[in-house]
Amino acid sequence: MNDSSQSFVKFEKIDKSYDGEVLVVKNLNLDIAKGEFVTMLGPSGSGKTTTLMMLAGFETPTNGEIFLDTKPISKIPPYEREIGMVFQNYALFPHMTVQENLAFPLEVRKISKSETQEKVQKALDMVELGNFGTRFPAQLSGGQQQRVALARALVFEPRLVLMDEPLGALDKNLREQMQYEIKHIHDRIGITVVYVTHDQSEALTMSNRIAVFNDGVVQQLSTPDILYEKPENSFVAKFIGENNTLNGVVKEINGSTCEVDLDNNFGTVKALKVNVSEVGEKTQLSIRPERVSIEPNNSLNTFTGKIEELIYLGDHIRARLDVCGNNEFIVKVPNEGSFSHKEGDTLNLGWDSDDVRALDI
């Protein structure tokens, strides 16, 4: 993947600063293959939108080069890049009807009237708005506007589509529905998509791969399952999904595993060595709530926890416990009808050493 001839989009040593004092993006190296759906995920101010804007051509990299289809694109103006984009607030032109909005990119490319009409209709049908062509954007609901924006970004058959938090303005139900719709359209036409969001579930639902951004740096770039199950640092572990942490010091390293002494002498945990390198180093252990079992039969790592709070959620019960000094330790108990403990009770907990990851602190 590191060879630029194989990747469709390639960021190479990109730095970006607006004021010459703060780097918004630091040494970004990213390869995106043709047809891939890559999401840039991160909190606000992490540099993901800036990265997208550099790709679209609205911002210039301070250092480094972006390649599209092996050609450097820094000197190509946005209107010649042939990259479609869905903007955060759709940026539909309010003085044009839906049809005119969609025809706009075709008109500026001097495509014939009949072909334009055909393509516009096809694009509208694709987003199931075939009968809405004569309406103005203000006469459409948020979800419909979103679809129009999507259709407009696709109608001129761009090489690549960028989406900048396109679902941010929609309510929860519609957002989820649109996630599937966008995913299905991507599957159907096989276009390369670069998607920006701060919503991790959105990223997990839609993407082939996710680049987690923080502080201008890509923390981890992986498929959703690896990102969730095998986070490489504590930021990713915390940012994606729910996560229980225990702090300690590395006592011993045995190949791919290590032993960690918990702070305040709560005991020793056997964990996967992920982001620690030497004995004596401080570390944060990460365990997913659903990987913790109650009253385990045999386990290396067994501890006790006092129930602080129980929340009934139908399919499972969410228990907040005090474990080894961490009173925000969450355990999800499947609702099998056999859980009879109350708040204040003490439970035995255990987990597999493969499910505990020793990360940076």
Partner 1 sequence: MEVIISTAELLTTDGIPLKQSLKKAERRNKIRAFFLVFPLLLFIVVTFVIPIGDMLMRSVDDSQINTVFPNTFEEYKKWDKGEDDLPPEEVYKNLFLELANGDKRQIGKALTRMNYAKSGWKSLIKKTSREIKKIVKKGEEPVSYKDTMIEINKFWADPTYWYSFNQMVNERSSIYYWNALDRTYNEEGDVILQDENRRMYIKTWIRTLKVSVYVTFFCLILGFPVAHLLANLPLRYSNLLMIFVLLPFWTSLLVRTTAWIVMLQQNGVINGVLVWLGILSDDGRIQMVYNETGTLIAMTQILLPFMILPLYSVMRVIPKSHMRAAQNLGAKPAMAFWRVYLPQTIPGMSAGGLLVFVLAIGYFITPELVGGKDGQLIGHWIAYHLKTTLNWGLCAALGSILLFVMLIFYWLYNKIVGIDNIKLG
Q: Does 156 bind partner 1 (CB under 8 A)?
A: yes
**DSSP result, 31-83:** EE-TT-EEEEE--TTSSHHHHHHHHHTSS--SEEEEEETTEE-TTS-GGGS-E
Tell me how far apart the alpha carbons of residues 243 and 332 are, in angstroms, rounded to a whole number: 11
Q: Does 83 bind partner 1 (CB under 8 A)?
A: yes
Applying CB under 8 A, which part among 42-50, 62-70, 79-87, 121-129 lies near partner 1?
Answer: 79-87
Instruction: State which of positions 268-327 bind partner 1 (CB under 8 A).
Output: none
Q: Which of 10, 119, 152, 209 binds partner 1 (CB under 8 A)?
A: 152
Q: Does 54 bind partner 1 (CB under 8 A)?
A: no
Main-chain phi, psi angles of 234, to 5 degrees: -70, -25
Here's the x/- map for partner 1, 91-130, by CB under 8 A: it reads as x-xxx--------xx--xx---------------------
Identify the CA nearest to 39 among candidates 320, 240, 256, 291.
240
Q: Which of 58, 304, 311, 328 binds partner 1 (CB under 8 A)?
A: 58
Applying CB under 8 A, which part among 10-18, 52-60, 209-217, 281-289 lies near partner 1?
Answer: 52-60
Q: Which of 2, 20, 21, 77 binds partner 1 (CB under 8 A)?
A: 77
Q: Does 20 bind partner 1 (CB under 8 A)?
A: no
Euclidean distance between the first and the last CA atom of the chain, given in angstroms as a whole number = 30
Tell me how far apart the alpha carbons of residues 329 and 306 are, in angstroms, rounded to a whole number: 10
CB 27 within 8 A of CB 215: no
CB 160 within 8 A of CB 176: no
Q: Write out the residues near partner 1 by the rule CB under 8 A.
A: 56-58, 77-85, 87-89, 91, 93-95, 104-105, 108-109, 152, 156
